[in-house]
């Protein structure tokens, strides 16, 4: 779907450029990606994810660093916008987006039970508050208008269809485990809800999404704010809401598919459904998209330029992702930066960045605020990368 959307927009851009006799639209491509946890160590996650042997020291070191409530999350936000400049107050916008979000909440005791087994918790109750998983994977194509209210201020809104590939909402925060004195079994009290898109089809649901926002330029500050993912999708689902007291043989989680973080989660959910016989009711379900709030700001002071990006998903455990990027030009075609980020599912990190001119009117950039993790200055899981590509108007010519 993402490839189709990108091809569609590039095709339109080519047609418009050809038809308008070198009067160019503006195309903006941006991708923000992060895999983080404030408390889970990078060493443990790397060995677990890549199927390496995890010794006892690594496990207990990871457990000692956990809090009572912990979060692990991944998000990938990708968008492309094609703007048609106009001498009139109203101009047209076409946009495509692909988003993948995964957030997990878990307790320290539950983590210990999964990765060290029953013996370390003999005769103890393990409470699972919180124990949640929220997963979304969807693409959308939208069209709308931007209205110029003043020369320095405009508002915009657009809407379009959304295709959903995965959607999971799991919450067993009311559950608990009790390990028998013999450490050979667990008494499980299961209390929670489980909803997941079902069926063999690649596209699990169809819906709509709306984005609205404003942008302006005041006192040398160029800014843009928006609210997006204002929509829903209709899909089949499997759900369960039950309480049970049972004995089970607990072997923990096993990873065998390393094609991607989300793919691993999907595989474990399949095992979860099979092991607990979570059939539930199957029917048409309405799922709201995760609300996304975005803010951007740019300020230039001489050669120094500072960019600010804020992303916020309305999901448990997600703190506003804030990235501050000061940059300095080395030449007219090359600029270096040092992005600093905080929030999301992780804490602070920083690293190098670069922005360069690809061709006339085309600028590309890459920012990797992950240096503290790469150099082992921080041992928490934190990997981030942001990329952008801008086909920018230089003559502000009208297309309409």
Residue 78, token pair as written in the block:
């990708």
Helix (H, G, I), strand (E, B) or coil at 61: helix
Sequence ranges of the domains in the chain? 24-391
Identify the CATH number of the domain defined by range 24-391. 2.40.160
- Dihedral sign (CA 354, 357, 361, 362): negative
**102 phi and psi angles, rounded to 5 deg:** -145, 125
DSSP state of 53: -
Contacts of 394 (CB under 8 A, 6+ apart): 24, 361
Structure tokens at 134: 């929220």
Ordered mean pLDDT values, 10 residues apiece, the chain (400 residues): 41 36 67 94 87 88 93 95 82 94 93 84 86 94 94 94 91 83 70 74 89 93 96 69 39 36 63 58 73 96 95 95 96 95 95 91 92 88 90 49
Q: Tell me the whole-structure pTM to 2 decimals.
A: 0.81
Q: Please list the residues that pair with 225 across neighbouring strands.
A: 214, 295
Residue whose C-alpha is closest to residue 102's, from 75, 122, 128: 75
Q: What pLDDT does residue 273 have?
A: 63
The confidence score (pLDDT) of residue 195 equals 78
Determine the distance from the C-alpha atom of residue 28 to the mean position of all C-alpha atoms in its chain, rounded to a whole number.
19
The answer to whether 37 and 64 are in contact (CB under 8 A) is: no
Return the pLDDT at 101: 96
DSSP notation for 62-119: HHHT--SEEEEEEEEEEEEEEE---SSSEEEEEEEEEEEEEEEEEEHHHHHHHHH-GG
Report residue 72 as tokens.
């692990």
DSSP classification of residue 252? -
Alpha-helical (H) ranges within the chain are: 2-19, 42-49, 56-64, 108-116, 261-276, 371-374
């Amino acid at each position: 779907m993402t490839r189709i959307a990108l091809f569609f927009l590039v095709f339109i851009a080519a047609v418009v450029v050809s038809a308008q006799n070198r009067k160019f639209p503006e195309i903006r491509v941006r991708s923000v990606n992060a895999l983080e946890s404030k408390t889970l160590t990078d060493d443990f996650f790397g060995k677990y994810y890549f199927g390496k042997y995890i010794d006892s020291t690594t496990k207990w070191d990871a457990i000692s660093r956990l809090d009572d409530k912990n979060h692990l999350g991944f998000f990938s936000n990708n968008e492309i916008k094609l703007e048609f400049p106009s001498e009139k107050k109203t101009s047209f916008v076409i946009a495509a987006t692909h988003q993948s979000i995964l957030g997990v909440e878990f307790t320290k005791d539950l983590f210990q039970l999964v990765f060290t087994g029953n013996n370390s918790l003999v005769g103890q109750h393990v409470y699972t508050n919180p124990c949640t998983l929220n997963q979304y994977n969807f693409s959308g194509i939208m069209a709308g208008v931007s209205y110029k209210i003043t020369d320095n201020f405009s508002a915009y809104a657009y809407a379009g269809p959304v295709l959903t590939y995965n959607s999971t909402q799991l919450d067993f925060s009311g559950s608990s485990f009790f390990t028998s004195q013999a450490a050979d079994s667990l008494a499980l009290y299961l209390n929670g809800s489980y909803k997941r898109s079902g069926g063999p089809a690649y596209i699990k649901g169809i819906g709509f999404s709306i984005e609205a926002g404003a942008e302006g330029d005041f006192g040398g500050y160029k800014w843009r704010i928006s609210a997006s993912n204002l929509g829903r999708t209709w899909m089949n689902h499997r759900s369960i809401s039950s309480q049970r007291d049972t004995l089970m043989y607990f072997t923990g989680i096993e990873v065998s598919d390393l094609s991607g973080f989300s793919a691993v989660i999907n595989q474990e959910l399949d095992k979860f459904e099979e092991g607990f016989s979570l059939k539930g009711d199957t029917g048409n379900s309405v799922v709201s998209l995760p609300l996304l709030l975005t803010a951007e700001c740019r300020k230039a002071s001489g050669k120094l330029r500072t960019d600010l990006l804020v992303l916020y998903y309305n999901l448990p455990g997600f703190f506003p992702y804030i990235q501050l990027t000061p940059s300095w030009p080395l030449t007219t075609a090359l600029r270096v930066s040092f992005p600093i980020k905080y929030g999301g599912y992780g804490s602070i990190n920083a690293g190098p960045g670069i922005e360069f001119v690809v061709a006339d009117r085309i600028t590309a950039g890459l920012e990797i605020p992950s240096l503290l993790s790469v150099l082992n200055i921080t041992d928490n899981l934190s990997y981030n990368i942001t990329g952008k590509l801008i086909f920018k108007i230089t003559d502000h010519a009208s297309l309409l």
